[in-house]
């Protein structure tokens, strides 16, 4: 899979990556790229899972602009890494002819952000011959601890030593579309585009220069 993303951090270059992803599904267990777990209940319409999830947020200060940070009273040399969080929780989905509703509740178990995140989404798969188009919308709630870890500033990270930024909990909204095309019984290609809008709690951070994040993922898959 190939990815191109802009996480909106100050002067950060677009992130480009190529790596393999594994999807596994059985009657009881599953692993989908960055998420795995156990099906607690799986019916024709309703599914409830216990899940472990690798968080997508992370930041290396070396990727940010020193001058741009300094103009915001942030010392890049004192800025700590923002590492990925690893979450555990529950996810549920309900499918009908009107689309799929989903809800997730997760808490950090890695001691990184020490907070929680909640997601609610809706998607509508639309089949056109060999192609499937799935537009989707959603909202994500980040607890105060998560928002502070990834977007806050401690006084020892400021140039003057007396400035800090501590955001409140944040509610993010997003839209996107998934595209998939079957080349054969085993092979298919796909692409995903996501646009996520940031609230004031995040855009007011001196670490952020944009009011939204954009992600594009493309790849080819083989089923066996």
Can you point out the beta strands (E) in the chain? 2-6, 15-18, 23-25, 29-32, 35-42, 46-54, 86-96, 99-108, 116-123, 126-128, 131-142, 170-182, 187-197, 212-222
Q: Which residues lie closer than 8 Å to 97 by C-beta, 6 or more apart?
A: none
Q: Over 80: is that where the pLDDT of 5 sits?
A: no
Domain architecture of the chain: domains with CATH: 2-222 (2.40.160)
Q: Which two tokens stand for residue 54?
A: 């690798």
128-163 core/surface letters (b: 16 or more CB in 10 A; e: else): eeeebebebebebbbbbbbbbbbbbbeeebbbeeee
Q: Report CA-CA distances (Å) from 122 to 16, 20, 50, 98, 213.
A: 27, 27, 20, 10, 19
The 10s digit of each residue's pLDDT in 113-167 is 999 999 999 999 999 999 999 999 999 999 999 999 999 999 999 999 999 999 9
Helix (H, G, I), strand (E, B) or coil at 207: coil
The 10s digit of each residue's pLDDT in 82-93 is 999 999 999 999
pLDDT-based confidence at residue 110 (cuts at 50, 70, 90)? very high
Q: Which two tokens stand for residue 187?
A: 């092979």
Among 33-37, 76-80, 92-96, 217-221, the least confident range: 217-221
**pLDDT for the residue numbered 14:** 64
Q: What is the pTM of this model?
A: 0.90
**pLDDT for the residue numbered 6:** 59
Instruction: Name which of 73, 66, 80 is nearest 163 in CA terms.
Output: 73
Among 17-26, 101-110, 153-162, the least confident range: 17-26
């Amino acid at each position: 899979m190939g990815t191109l993303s802009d996480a909106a951090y100050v002067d950060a270059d677009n992130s480009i990556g190529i790596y393999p992803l594994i999807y596994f599904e059985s009657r009881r267990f599953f692993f989908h790229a960055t998420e795995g777990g156990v099906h607690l209940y799986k019916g024709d319409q309703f599914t409830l899972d216990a899940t472990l999830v690798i968080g997508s947020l992370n930041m290396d200060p070396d990727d940010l602009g020193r001058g741009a940070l300094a103009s915001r009273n942030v010392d890049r040399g004192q800025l700590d890494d923002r590492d990925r969080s690893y979450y555990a929780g529950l996810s549920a989905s309900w499918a009908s002819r009107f689309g799929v509703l989903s809800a997730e509740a997760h808490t950090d178990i890695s001691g990184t952000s020490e907070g929680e995140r909640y997601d609610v989404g809706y998607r509508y798969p639309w089949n056109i011959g060999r192609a499937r188009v799935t537009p989707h919308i959603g909202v994500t709630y980040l607890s105060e601890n998560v928002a502070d870890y990834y977007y806050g500033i401690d006084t020892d990270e400021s140039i003057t030593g007396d400035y800090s930024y501590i955001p409140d909990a944040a509610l993010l909204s997003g839209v996107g579309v998934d595209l998939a095309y079957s080349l054969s019984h085993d092979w298919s290609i796909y692409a995903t585009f996501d646009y996520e809008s940031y609230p004031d709690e995040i855009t007011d951070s001196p670490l952020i220069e944009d009011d939204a994040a954009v992600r594009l993922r493309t790849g080819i898959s083989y089923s066996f």
